[in-house]
Structure 1
Amino acid sequence: MLNTMKAEWFSNIKGDLLAGIVVALALIPEAIAFSIIAGVDPKVGLYASFCIAVIIAFVGGRPGMISAATGAMALLMVTLVKEHGLEYLMAATLLTGVIQILAGWLKLGSLMRFVSRSVVTGFVNALAILIFMAQLPELTNVTWHVYAMTAAGLGIIYLFPYVPMLGKLLPSPLICIVALTIVAVLFNIDVRTVGDMGELPDTLPIFLWPDVPLNLETLMIILPYSIPLAVVGLLESMMTATIVDDLTDTESDRNRECRGQGIANIGSGLFGGMAGCAMIGQSVINVKSGGRGRLSTFTAGVFLMVMIVVLDDILVQIPMAALVAVMIMVSIGTFSWES
């Protein structure tokens, strides 16, 4: 037990801490964007990402995998939020978690080993294309400064690892974000920043029981949303676990991951967040930045909230071009080019 805990939490402390910081920086604009897709306040996605990442670090079955608010889940919530409001979304999130825990208890995660390699490859390639396409709005109808900063960011990401001494010590995506932020601030370059995505919350999440009637009518409203949320969340999480398994040449406990996703979503729903699942893009960023253990996932969640509450003045100045460069790197690294 102690040996397992040491291996999963403390075998790669420096790599996990640095990778977690990179992931946290990349999570913020995505969490805000997914909140906007779902039709809720940006803090709902940010609180969800914090809660899910921290909880899954302890109860998940795949060390080094990042879970938070996701676009696929946000798309399924749109109608529920529009017709019934945030309180019903939180109730649906709780029910989603219960269904996922039942799936883990029934060992449905084990069925993933029957999914063919071609299906996983298709899933990976489709996600890589979607990640790239999601960056295009940040690169259309913009000034040349954005293109220059994005190109510079990609250059830093791919060339920094070759710098003697420092290249092996620090993850290049983190250097990219820090360097471009400093340049944008020093030269007062007029580019879109994280602060333009939406207002950031200034407090920690608090316990909130959904203010909905506990009756059959409520169940009939949220069940048609909770079932697809649970299924999509588990499918994306299991696929992502397979990808991280391949990248790290290790194995994951898929049934434990199902239960962990359920517990994390219940935690999110009780603290004002929406449902989420594993994120392939952030998980690849984590692995590529040197993250391997549970500490990287925990760090991503904690540092996300620290930045939002304490370092918000710095955070809002990060140019979106820097994060676009990181996500393009993820897209290129995720795509299965030999296919």
Structure 2
Amino acid sequence: MKLLKDNRFRGLTANDVKRDLMAGITVGIVAIPLGMAFAIASGVKPEYGLYTTVIAGILVALFGGSRYQIAGPTGAFIPILLAIVLEFGYEDLLIAGFMAGIMLMLMGFFKFGNLIKFIPRSVTIGFTAGIAVIIFAGQIENFLGLEGMEKKEYFHETMIQIFERLPTLNLYSILVAVLGVLILILVPRYFPRVPVLLVALIIPACIAYIFFPGKVETIGSAFGGISQSLPTLQFPELTWDKIVTLLQPAFVIAMLGGIESLLSAVVADGMTGKRHNSNRELIGQGLANVVTPLFGGIPATGAIARTATNIKSGAVSPLSGVFQGIFVLVTILALAPFASHIPLASMAPILMRVAINMSEHKSFAHIVKLRTSDSLVLAVTFLLTVFVNLTVAVQFGLLLAMFSFVKRMSEVVGVEKVIPTRLKEEENSKGLQSICPKIAFFTIEGPLFFGAADKFESMITRSINKKPSVLILKMKHVSYIDATGGNNLASLIRDFKKTGGTTLLAEMNDDVLNTIKNSGLYEEIGEKNIFSDASKAVDYSLNLINVNKCSRCGKKGATTCQVYLESQQLRSQADRAEHGVVN
């Protein structure tokens, strides 16, 4: 297959395969508790998270765009998946995940991988921090062992219910959770090579089972344990009504999955010096999300922490991801019955730690302190994620970011009135108020697009206060011109022409020149009035003005223009111009 025709598997030695095997086992040990915890927090059975870890992990390793990517259920999906389960049910969650997989594959085929990277950091940090708050708050009930709690879609509903149920807290659950917290803090400090997440599940489970059995809620009491059999292949019952209803949730899953997987791939690139293929990564993630729901798995994406663990464990090729999936599968078949004794209280600290790690609180605080438009985008995205939902948050966040971008770009455009150096010196020495009222020479800087076009036109019009005969626009630094910018430029030229003036354009790049040609403005201006060199435009402009009628040169003894015509000094004026943008 074309997706497998690359050099990621070539040249592997037996030692490389051994290193991949050890890395895969290490990541698998980390992935097992996370897979169960993420599934439970998403409102589904823990084994569905493990199925996702196996299937998505293997498929993304084989067909994704990164050598080291580890895929599976992630914390970022928890609020979305929980909301879908509460509103539509588990079966429709599988359909939404299936549809999201198709969307991701289409994004990859149409090469949208690079476009996702343009989502502003203020938006991604905003919704990531919001998700972290939701995850953390959602685990308070398990940490305290509260009774009678129901899964709620909204953050404020969850918090209200927690306060109402505080009298039902379970001291045994708190003891188990605190023990888990201590393990998560102390084990990495004193035993860095020990798989802390697995230890944080096993030790509390053993203590609870031996010393106070039946006093805390476990996976077995809440979900009936984990099945030791493999899932069966089942195709979702797709109907047009379900497709329409689940289109928006599926799109949110696809967008978040694409963003997180590419962020994870970028992190892997930074750690290894390799380069991932973003479009292929989207195709691999899409394929995984198409296949996983057929076996009861929940949506998956690239997991940054597990991918980093994979690299640190010595992974060489995508085989480490394959070995990780196989290890988790073998563990399910061999040890699934023992998982029923794991207390939910021992999973709470793990998910809380995940929430703290994914919150990016330092970056969040840094952007807030900037007090710029990015701070506003961040705050709005964060608050909407927490109190409404991720769909609305991302939409409003991107909308605000777009308006902020347009405003910034409109401030970039500048208009500079250029005065040649020698004439500047003459002006200073003779006390002249202006050099040549018949010629106006401006340098335009920045893109002429809809957000800046009106400002450009008004600045030029305001600067022409003595009705010159020739207007020269040097456009060397205009990188782009859109329909609105072209229309405003045409309007300026036509208005100036009505007063008897002539506009000369100089030093346009090929893209701007082609835009002007396609708009018809090129013919309207005239080929003779478009120059590749600004100095030639100045020379030409001196042939257009009537020196004898000039308010300066028509006076007896005023020879500024004649001196320049005779000495041909004006040919080099553009090169000797001094630049400064007036905003």
In structure 1, what is the equivalent of residue 208 of structure 2?
184
Matches for 1:78-89 after TM superposition, within 5 Å: 78=85, 81-82=88-89, 86=91, 89=93
Greater RCO, CA 8 A, separation 6+: 1
Contact 2:71 2:300 in 1 (8 A): no
Contact 1:35 1:42 in 2 (8 A): no
Shift of 1:264: 0.5
Shift of 1:23: 1.3
The Cα RMSD (Å) is: 3.7
**Does residue 13 of structure 1 match 2:21?**
yes
CA deviation map 1:301-332 (0-9, x unaligned): 44444344431222122333443333344344
Separation (CA, whole Å) in 2 of partners of 1:124 and 1:89: 21
Corresponding letter in the other structure for 1:61? G
Contact 1:240 1:279 in 2 (8 A): yes
Contact 2:49 2:297 in 1 (8 A): yes
Shift of 1:259: 0.4
Shift of 1:207: 1.8
Q: 1:325 aligns with which of 349, 356, 369?
A: 349
In structure 2, what is the equivalent of residue 142 of structure 1?
170
Shift of 1:131: 4.0
Matches for 1:117-132 after TM superposition, within 5 Å: 117-122=121-126, 124-132=128-136
**Does residue 277 of structure 1 match 2:301?**
yes
Matches for 1:102-113 after TM superposition, within 5 Å: 102-113=106-117
Shift of 1:113: 3.7
In structure 2, what is the equivalent of residue 71 of structure 1?
78
Q: 2:279 aligns with which of 240, 245, 255?
A: 255
* C-alpha spacing 1:222/1:126, structure 2 compared with 1 (3 Å): closer
The count of corresponding residues between Structure 1 and Structure 2 is 323
Separation (CA, whole Å) in 1 of partners of 2:31 and 2:241: 40
Matches for 1:1-339 after TM superposition, within 5 Å: 1=7, 2-3=9-10, 11-36=19-44, 44-62=48-66, 63-68=68-73, 70-75=77-82, 77-78=84-85, 81-82=88-89, 86=91, 89-122=93-126, 124-140=128-144, 141-143=169-171, 144-161=174-191, 167-168=192-193, 170-188=194-212, 190-199=215-224, 200-212=226-238, 219-246=243-270, 251-279=275-303, 286=309, 290=313, 292=315, 294-295=318-319, 297-336=321-360, 338-339=362-363
Structure 2 SS opposite 1:310: helix
Contact 1:9 1:294 in 2 (8 A): no
Corresponding letter in the other structure for 1:81? F
Structure 2 SS opposite 1:114: coil
Separation (CA, whole Å) in 2 of partners of 1:290 and 1:205: 30
Separation (CA, whole Å) in 2 of partners of 1:20 and 1:180: 20
CA deviation map 1:137-168 (0-9, x unaligned): 2222231422431233223333233xxxxx44
Shift of 1:101: 0.7
Corresponding letter in the other structure for 2:339? L
CA deviation map 1:42-99 (0-9, x unaligned): 65555344322232222222324332373244146347735xx72x554443332222
Structure 2 SS opposite 1:31: helix
Percent identical across equivalent pairs?
25
Separation (CA, whole Å) in 2 of partners of 1:226 and 1:196: 32
Shift of 1:198: 1.1
**Bigger mean CA offset, 21-30 vs 174-183:** 174-183
**Bigger mean CA offset, 97-106 vs 13-22:** 13-22
Shift of 1:129: 3.9
Q: Give the helix-richer structure, 1 or 2.
A: 1
Structure 2 SS opposite 1:202: coil
Corresponding letter in the other structure for 2:72? S
Shift of 1:188: 4.1
Gaps of 5+ in 2: 1-6, 145-168, 364-583
Separation (CA, whole Å) in 2 of partners of 1:311 and 1:207: 22
* C-alpha spacing 1:108/1:45, structure 2 compared with 1 (3 Å): same
Contact 1:92 1:222 in 2 (8 A): yes
Corresponding letter in the other structure for 1:101? M
* C-alpha spacing 1:248/1:205, structure 2 compared with 1 (3 Å): same
Shift of 1:258: 0.7
* TM-score, normalised with respect to structure 2: 0.47
Separation (CA, whole Å) in 2 of partners of 1:249 and 1:52: 25
CA deviation map 1:116-139 (0-9, x unaligned): 455554455444444433432222
* C-alpha spacing 1:226/1:125, structure 2 compared with 1 (3 Å): closer
